[in-house]
Structure 1
C-alpha cells in the first residue's frame, strides 16, 4: 500500500478520524489544528456543549480529550424527524491540542456514480466494540429533500450505525467532499445521505472563517495529504489549471490577509463573466470567492478567474501578506504562461473600495401617476449594477410599498445580512418622501429590528435621475461638499415669506456651495414641497428633515431670510443637526444618521435630532442603468 496514493490517503483518512461521544455515539474528523467536524445530532445542538473525543493515533494508541461545541445546527422542530440541513457541528479540543493530521476539504460535489470512501465507526462485526471502518460508496448526485431542508448528497453503498459524522473521500480528487449523515436503512447496502462540504457555510460565520483559514494554513505547511491527493487526481491539475500545490499556497496567503470591507458577492460578480448568477451557497470569506470562481473555469480577460481574483486581492494593500500573495500569484502565472496579463493587472490602480448597496425604486406609471412600478438593483460598482428581478406591474402605493418590503430581506441577505450595516437607497418621488422606511420591521423573528436602525437607509430624488439636464449642477454641488464637515455648510429653508421659487432659484444659482439643507418640515407639506422641487432641480444632493413634521414655529419676530449657513440660527432642528454633524463628512453621513436614530431610541428623547430623522443622500456617481421612459406593460408580473 506504500506505493498506492489512494491507499496512503485512506490510511491518513483513518488517522484523521475520531470517535465522538456527545448526544449520541458517532464519528468525526480533524479539519484544522484543534478543530474537528461531526454531525450536530452526534455532538449536540448548541454552542458550549461538552463532548468526549477519542482519537486512535496509532492502532494501539488511544487518547481521550474533552471537546467544546463551537457551532452546531439546531434540532428538528418535531422530535424524531430528520435533523435539518446541514446537521453539522464544529468541535474544538479543550486544552493542549494533539499533533494530528487534517483532511483536505473540497467544496466540489462529486459527479454521478463517482467512487467514494467513507470512514467511521462500525459495530457490524464486533457489536460490543465499535471499530474504525471504511466503506466503499458511490455518488448519486445532490438532491433537494424537504425533510432535510437542504441539498443533500445521496449515496449508494453500505452505511453502518456509528458512521454519522464521518468524512467522505472522493477517490477522484483525493479530497474530503462531505460528511455522513444517515443511512437509508440500517444493516443494509441501500445507501444514505451526506452533507456536502459547502454546508459548513450554514453554521456560525465567525466560527467558519476561523476554522477554514486554519485549515488552509495547515495544508500550506503540511503537504502529507495534498501530495497524495495530487497523485490520486492524476496530473495534479486543479480547477482553472492551478495545481494542488499552487491552490494550497494561494489559499494560505489569502487566509493571512488582514480584514477588509466590501461584499464578497460583489467581488465574485466583478470577476465572473457577465450573466453569471451568485452561488446557491452564501459567500462568507474570500476563500469562498476564490473556490467558487475556480470551480467555474471562467474567462475573465486571459486569466483564470480565480487567479484574477487573487491578483485583485494582492493589489489592495502593501502588507507582507499582500506581498506574499503577489509572489505566489506571479509564480503560478509563470507556469500557466499568463505572466504578462498578471503584471498588467498588478500595475493597475488598487481596486476602489466602493460601497455596495441595494437601490430600490418606486416609479409612477406613465399611464396613471397614482400607481407605481417597483424595481430593485444591487449596486456593486459604477460598472456593475445588477437587476434583482424584473419591474413590477403598476400597483397602488400601498401595494408597491408592500412588494418592496417583501423583496428587501432577500437582497439584504445577499449583500451581507441584516446584522452587517449596509446601504439601502430608496429612489422615490417627492410624494413618497415621508414613507416610514427607517422603521420598517422586515424580520418577524426579530420584531425589534428596525430597518433604518440596522442599515444605512437613505432617500434619493427620482425626479433628478430622470432629467439628464439637471445632472451637471448635481455633480458640482456633491464635489464641493468634499471632505469637509456637513455641519459647517448645513443651511435651513422653510418656504416662508420671500422664499418663493424665484428667490430660492436665485440663491442656489449664486451660491454653488449650498449643498446640504435642513428642511424646516417635511417636503410633503405644501410650503416645503416648493423648496424641495427647487433644491432638487438646482442639484442639492443632501437634505435632512424630521418625518411628519410641520414647518417650524418662529423663534423670533424676524422674517425668514434667504438660505445660507448663517440664517435661522435659533431653529432647534438646524442647531441640533449642525452640532450632531460637526465632524461628519458627506461619505460618513449615512452611518452617522443611523447612529443618531439609535441614540434617539436609547435616550428615549422625543425631541432628539435622531427622532424620525430622514436623509436624502444623493451621490451622483451611483446611477442605475438608464432606460427609455415609455409606458410599461401593465401585465408585467412582480
Structure 2
C-alpha cells in the first residue's frame, strides 16, 4: 500500500460516521454513513427506518472521528415504510446535522457509469467497548437493476458497515454506498452514487454544497486535500483534464443557476461530444455536474477541449438568460491558454446555442401559448398505470410508470414493489419520488411533460388533477398536477391493440377543427347504439361522476362506442330525478370552452390553462375545477398485460 493510499484512507476515515440513538454513551450503533457536503450525511435508508418509521423527526446522533453531533432525517427514498424490505433503488437517506460543525467530506464521483473492479468498503462495526472504523477490500463483479452493485461473494462485510462509503482507490472517489451483506455468507450489495439523483431538488442542493466546499480546497487536520490525492495524469501541456481542472470547473458550475430541465443538459453534453452519444443508457441529468459526468470513456476523461466546450455552452446558456458567470468565462480562457494546441482552440471557443436552447420569446399581451398534445414520435409522455388489486376491500392499486421519449417504444421506468398495493389516499406519498422525480427530470423549460393516468373506468372519478407532489410550491408555480401540466385519463381496459371503431372515430375527430359538447347520457338512449352513431364532432360531456350509477353505464357505452375523448364532473350528482340548475350552467360553460379549440390536440392544454386560473384564484374559472378529461389516443396504446393479475394477499 502506498503512502498516497494511506493518506487517502485517512480522509475517508475522517468523513465516515456511525449513527446511534440520541441518549446513552454506550448505545449500540444503527449503521454507518458519511459526509457528502457540509452538514449532510448520506446513509442507507434501512439503517434509519426501524428507529424513525413512527416519527421521522426523531433526533439521533452522528459520531465519528472528531464529530459527535445531533442530527435529523432530512429525506429518504423509501416509498413504503411498512414493507419488510427496502428496495435497492430506495435504500438511500440524507441526514442533516442540527448545528454547524467542521468535518471532512468525501469526493463523490461525477461519472454515472457504474463501477466494476476493486474498491475499499469503509464503515463502523460494533465494539466492545465502542464502535470501530474499518476498511476492507471489496470487489464489484456485477450490477443489478439501475443502481445496484454486486459485491463479490468472498468479501467479508462486517455487520454495522451498512451505509458506509465505497471508495475507488484508483480514482480517489466514492462511487457507492454499502447496502447489505449476504445473510450468513460473504459478499453483499451496494448502491451506486448515481442513485442520489433520485432526491431531485435536494440532490441539487447537496451537490452544489459538495462542489463549492471542495472548490475552496479545504485541508484536513493532517494537511491533506482530497482532490490533490486523486490519481490523474500530469498537467503537462494542458492536453489532459486533471482532477484539479475537474474540481475548479465543478465549483464554478455549482455557482450557476441549475439547468431548467434534463433535456437541456443532454443536448449540451452531446454537442460537447461532437454529436456522439455516450456509452450506455442516459442517466438522470439534474445538474450541470451530471452533464460533466458524461464526458468520459470508462474512467478516463475525454480531451480537455471537450470539457471546455461543454463549459462554454453552459456559460452561453446562462448568459442568454442574464445569469452569465464572468468567473467561469475567465477560467475557461485561462485554461485554454494552458493548452498549447492553439490550432484546436476554436472547438471550445466558437460555440453557439441551438434554437431549442434559446429562451422562448416573450408573449405579446396576455394570450397564452397553447401546446398541442404529442402524438406518436412528437414528444415525450409519462404514463402511470393504476391496476386495482383483485379482491381488495377497500380498493387498493398497484402502480407502474412508463416513459415514452417520443423517439422509440415506451419503456418501464419503475414498478410498484409493494406486496399489498396502495389505497387511493396513499398513492401520492408512494409516487412522490418515482413519479414526481421523473416528471421533474423530463420537463423542458416552458414545456412540462404530459402525464397520462390509466385507470379502469369505474375509478375515473379519482381526482388525480388535484394531486400535489411538492409539500411546498413556489409562489409562482401552480403546485397541483392538473395546473402544472397536461394531465389526461386513459381507460386501462383498453390496453393492448385498439379496435377499428376506436381508431376510426379518433381519425375523424383529429381531422376536425370545430367541436361541440354532447350531453350524455342522452335522453331515451339505453344501449350503445346511439354512442356508436354519434356525430364525429361530438365530445361526450357528463355533469355527473363517471364511476358509479348512470354515469358509469354511460361511460361504458361511450368507450364501447369508440369514443376516446370525454369530459365529466367528478363531484356528487342526484342519481335519480332531474339535473340540478348548476348542471345546465356546466354544460353551457363547457360548450363555450370547446369553441376555443382549433384542434383536438389543444384540448388538454386548454384545460390546463383553466386549471391554472383556478390555482391562481382567478375569477370566473371555478366551474371547471371538478372536471376530468379522457384523452385516449389509440395510436399510442397502453402496454398490454405481461403477467397475470395479482390477487390481494391474505
Pairwise same-fold verdict (TM > 0.5): yes
1:193 aligns to what? 189
Report 1 or 2 for greater relative contact order, CA contacts < 8 Å, sequence distance ≥ 6: 2
2:129 aligns to what? 128
Structure 2 distance, partners of 1:210, 1:445, is: 38
CA deviation after TM superposition for structure 1 residue 177, in Å: 1.3
Structure 2 distance, partners of 1:297, 1:170, is: 11
Instruction: Tell me which structure has the larger Cα radius of gyration.
Output: 1
Distance 1:27 1:527, change over 3 A: closer
Distance 1:112 1:289, change over 3 A: closer
Structure 2: any 5+ residue segments left out of the alignment? Answer: 22-27, 361-369, 382-404, 412-432, 468-480, 490-502, 520-531, 539-564, 569-586, 632-641, 643-650
Provide the secondary structure at the position in 2 that maps to 1:106.
coil
Contact 2:306 2:348 in 1 (8 A): no
Structure 1 distance, partners of 2:171, 2:351, is: 31
1:35 aligns to what? 40
Comparing 344-353 and 324-333, the one that deviates more? 344-353
What whole-Å deviation, never above 9, does each CA across 1:321-375 have from its counterpart, x for those lacking one? Answer: 53222233333344444432222115988932469997323xxxxxxxxxxxxx6
Structure 1 distance, partners of 2:40, 2:29, is: 19
1:449 aligns to what? 464
Question: Are residues 1:152 and 2:149 paired?
Answer: yes
Structure 2 distance, partners of 1:255, 1:603, is: 38
What whole-Å deviation, never above 9, does each CA across 1:528-582 have from its counterpart, x for those lacking one? Answer: 859xxxxxxxxxxxxxxx9579xxxxxxxxxxxxxxxxxxxxx96599669999x
Contact 1:111 1:139 in 2 (8 A): no
Distance 1:234 1:278, change over 3 A: closer
Structure 1 distance, partners of 2:208, 2:603, is: 34
What whole-Å deviation, never above 9, does each CA across 1:455-479 have from its counterpart, x for those lacking one? Answer: 22699xx99xx9xxxxxxxxxxxxx
Structure 2 distance, partners of 1:578, 1:313, is: 42
Contact 1:265 1:278 in 2 (8 A): no
Question: Are residues 1:594 and 2:583 paired?
Answer: no
Distance 1:343 1:356, change over 3 A: farther
Provide the secondary structure at the position in 2 that maps to 1:317.
helix
Contact 1:209 1:284 in 2 (8 A): yes
The partner residue of 1:212 within 204, 207, 215 is 207
Structure 2 distance, partners of 1:235, 1:609, is: 63
Paired residues, what number? 472
2:65 aligns to what? 56
Comparing 416-425 and 275-284, the one that deviates more? 416-425
1:6 aligns to what? 5
Contact 2:123 2:165 in 1 (8 A): yes
What whole-Å deviation, never above 9, does each CA across 1:264-300 have from its counterpart, x for those lacking one? Answer: 1353145434566874643333322221344579999
Contact 1:577 1:609 in 2 (8 A): no
1:359 aligns to what? 374
Distance 1:153 1:573, change over 3 A: same
Structure 2 distance, partners of 1:248, 1:445, is: 52
- Give runs of aligned pairs for residues 170-249 of structure 1, distance below 5 A: 170-184=168-182, 190-202=186-198, 204-224=199-219, 229-235=227-233, 241-249=240-248
What whole-Å deviation, never above 9, does each CA across 1:364-407 have from its counterpart, x for those lacking one? Answer: xxxxxxxxxxx66449xxxxx9513289xxxxxxxxxxxxxxxx
1:250 aligns to what? 249
Contact 1:261 1:353 in 2 (8 A): no
Distance 1:119 1:520, change over 3 A: closer
CA deviation after TM superposition for structure 1 residue 245, in Å: 1.5
Contact 1:183 1:191 in 2 (8 A): yes
1:98 aligns to what? 101
* TM-score with structure 2 setting the length: 0.57
2:346 aligns to what? 340
What whole-Å deviation, never above 9, does each CA across 1:577-631 have from its counterpart, x for those lacking one? Answer: 69999xxxxxx99766314146679999999367769899xxxxxxxxxxxxxxx
Question: Are residues 1:387 and 2:384 paired?
Answer: no
2:161 aligns to what? 163
Provide the secondary structure at the position in 2 that maps to 1:326.
helix
Structure 2 distance, partners of 1:419, 1:158, is: 43
Provide the secondary structure at the position in 2 that maps to 1:163.
coil
CA deviation after TM superposition for structure 1 residue 419, in Å: 9.6
Contact 1:316 1:350 in 2 (8 A): no
Distance 1:256 1:526, change over 3 A: same
Question: Are residues 1:608 and 2:647 paired?
Answer: no
Distance 1:598 1:110, change over 3 A: closer
What whole-Å deviation, never above 9, does each CA across 1:134-159 have from its counterpart, x for those lacking one? Answer: 22x132333217xxx95224245332
CA deviation after TM superposition for structure 1 residue 422, in Å: 1.7
Comparing 316-325 and 245-254, the one that deviates more? 316-325
2:75 aligns to what? 71
Question: Are residues 1:328 and 2:331 paired?
Answer: yes
Question: Are residues 1:312 and 2:313 paired?
Answer: yes
Structure 2 distance, partners of 1:615, 1:73, is: 32
Structure 2 distance, partners of 1:287, 1:357, is: 32
Structure 1: any 5+ residue segments left out of the alignment? Answer: 58-62, 362-374, 380-384, 392-408, 426-436, 467-492, 494-515, 531-545, 550-570, 582-587, 617-636
Question: Are residues 1:283 and 2:293 paired?
Answer: no
CA deviation after TM superposition for structure 1 residue 103, in Å: 0.7
Structure 1 distance, partners of 2:171, 2:348, is: 28
Provide the secondary structure at the position in 2 that maps to 1:195.
strand
Provide the secondary structure at the position in 1 that maps to 2:357.
coil
Contact 2:461 2:628 in 1 (8 A): no
Contact 1:54 1:65 in 2 (8 A): yes
What whole-Å deviation, never above 9, does each CA across 1:396-443 have from its counterpart, x for those lacking one? Answer: xxxxxxxxxxxxx99997563699972449xxxxxxxxxxx799789x
2:421 aligns to what? none
Structure 2 distance, partners of 1:197, 1:607, is: 45
Question: Are residues 1:268 and 2:266 paired?
Answer: yes
Distance 1:277 1:219, change over 3 A: same
CA deviation after TM superposition for structure 1 residue 11, in Å: 1.1
Distance 1:578 1:14, change over 3 A: same
CA deviation after TM superposition for structure 1 residue 220, in Å: 0.5
Distance 1:55 1:219, change over 3 A: same
CA deviation after TM superposition for structure 1 residue 315, in Å: 0.9
Comparing 315-324 and 346-355, the one that deviates more? 346-355
Structure 2 distance, partners of 1:70, 1:223, is: 25
Structure 2 distance, partners of 1:348, 1:291, is: 22
Contact 1:376 1:388 in 2 (8 A): no
Distance 1:276 1:119, change over 3 A: closer
Structure 2 distance, partners of 1:82, 1:411, is: 18
* TM-score with structure 1 setting the length: 0.58
Provide the secondary structure at the position in 1 that maps to 2:440.
coil
Structure 2 distance, partners of 1:299, 1:160, is: 34
CA deviation after TM superposition for structure 1 residue 66, in Å: 0.8
Distance 1:438 1:52, change over 3 A: closer
Contact 2:265 2:291 in 1 (8 A): yes
Contact 1:599 1:610 in 2 (8 A): no
